[in-house]
C-alpha cells in the first residue's frame, strides 16, 4: 500500500520518460529547484516523466521531476506548456491547477486559446488528479472507485495518524453494497459538466457526492463545486 503525498499510483498516471525538456528556460529550472539558488541544480541529474493520462488541461501536460542528486532526493510535479515554456509547480493547493485552467480560457492575440478538453469520459480522471494534488488543513479529499481503493486510503489515514483501524474485516460486506448499488453518472452541458454518485474519502470516512465543473462567467475562472454530500461510513 502507498503512503505518500500522491496516493494515485503509476497505473493511474501512466508515466513515461520524457527527453524533450532539455531546452527549458532558466525560470523553469529555478522553479524545479524551488528557487533555492544556494543549492546547485544539475539538469543532468534530473529524470523527467510525463503523464500520458493527464492531457486535458488545454495545452498543458503533467510532468514529474525526480532528483538523482544525493543533495536533493525529493520530487515535484508541475503542469508545463512545452510551446510557451510556462511551468506551474503543484504546491498542494488548488491555485496552480485552477490558474492554469483559467489561462486556457483567456483570449490570446485576438483569438481564443485551447479550451479544457473535459467530457464525460475523462472528468473522473480530472477530479482524481485534482484531489490527488490538493491537500486541505485536515487532509486529502480523494475519489475512490472500489472497496480496495477505499481500504488503501483508510490504511494510509491511520498510518499517518498512528491510529488503529477498527473492525477492518467487517468492512468488506458493507463496502461491496456501497459500490455495487450506485453507478457514477457524468453528463456534459454547454457550459458545465456534472458527475453524480462519486465516492470519496476524507479523514478516514467515506462519502457519496456530486460534483459540478464549470467556468464562472463573471470572472472567467474555472471552478469545482461539491453538492449532495452524504456520509456513508464514519471512521
Residue 112 has pLDDT above 60, yes or no: no
pLDDT tens-digit map of 14-53: 999 887 665 666 666 666 665 555 556 666 777 888 999 9
pLDDT tens-digit map of 162-176: 776 665 556 777 777
If you average pLDDT over residues 59-84, what whole number do you get?
78
Residue 225 has pLDDT above 80, yes or no: yes
If you average pLDDT over residues 111-135, what whole number do you get?
75
pLDDT at residue 181 in the model: 64
- Indicate the average pLDDT of the chain: 75
pLDDT at residue 51 in the model: 93
pLDDT at residue 126 in the model: 86
C-alpha cell at 32: 524545479
pLDDT at residue 111 in the model: 39
- Nearest to 1, CA basis, from 107, 172, 150, 142: 150
Q: What percent of the chain has pLDDT over 90?
A: 4
In this predicted model, which residue has the larger pLDDT, 93 or 120?
A: 93
Of these ranges, 81-85, 104-108, 144-148, 174-178, the one predicted with the greatest mean pLDDT is: 144-148
Amino acid at each position: 500500500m502507498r503512503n505518500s503525498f500522491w496516493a494515485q499510483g503509476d497505473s493511474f498516471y501512466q508515466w513515461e520518460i520524457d527527453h524533450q525538456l532539455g531546452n527549458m528556460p532558466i525560470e523553469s529550472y529555478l522553479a524545479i529547484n524551488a528557487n533555492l539558488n544556494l543549492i546547485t541544480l544539475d539538469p543532468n541529474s534530473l529524470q523527467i516523466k510525463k503523464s500520458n493520462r493527464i492531457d486535458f488541461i488545454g495545452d498543458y501536460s503533467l510532468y514529474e521531476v525526480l532528483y538523482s542528486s544525493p543533495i536533493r532526493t525529493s520530487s515535484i510535479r508541475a503542469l508545463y506548456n512545452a510551446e510557451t515554456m510556462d511551468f506551474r509547480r503543484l504546491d498542494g493547493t488548488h491555485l496552480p491547477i485552477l490558474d492554469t485552467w483559467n489561462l486556457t480560457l483567456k483570449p490570446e492575440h485576438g483569438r481564443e486559446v485551447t479550451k479544457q478538453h473535459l467530457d464525460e469520459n475523462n472528468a473522473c480522471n480530472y477530479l482524481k488528479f485534482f484531489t490527488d494534488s490538493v491537500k486541505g488543513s485536515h487532509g486529502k479529499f480523494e475519489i475512490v472507485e472500489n472497496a480496495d481503493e477505499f481500504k488503501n486510503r483508510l490504511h494510509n489515514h491511520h498510518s499517518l495518524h498512528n491510529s488503529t483501524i477498527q473492525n477492518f474485516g467487517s468492512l468488506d460486506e458493507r463496502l461491496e453494497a456501497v459500490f455495487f448499488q450506485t453507478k457514477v453518472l457524468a453528463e456534459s452541458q454547454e457550459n458545465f459538466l456534472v458527475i453524480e454518485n462519486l465516492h470519496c474519502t476524507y479523514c478516514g470516512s467515506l462519502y457519496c457526492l456530486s460534483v459540478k465543473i464549470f467556468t464562472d462567467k463573471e470572472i472567467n475562472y474555472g471552478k469545482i463545486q461539491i453538492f449532495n454530500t452524504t456520509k456513508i461510513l464514519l471512521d
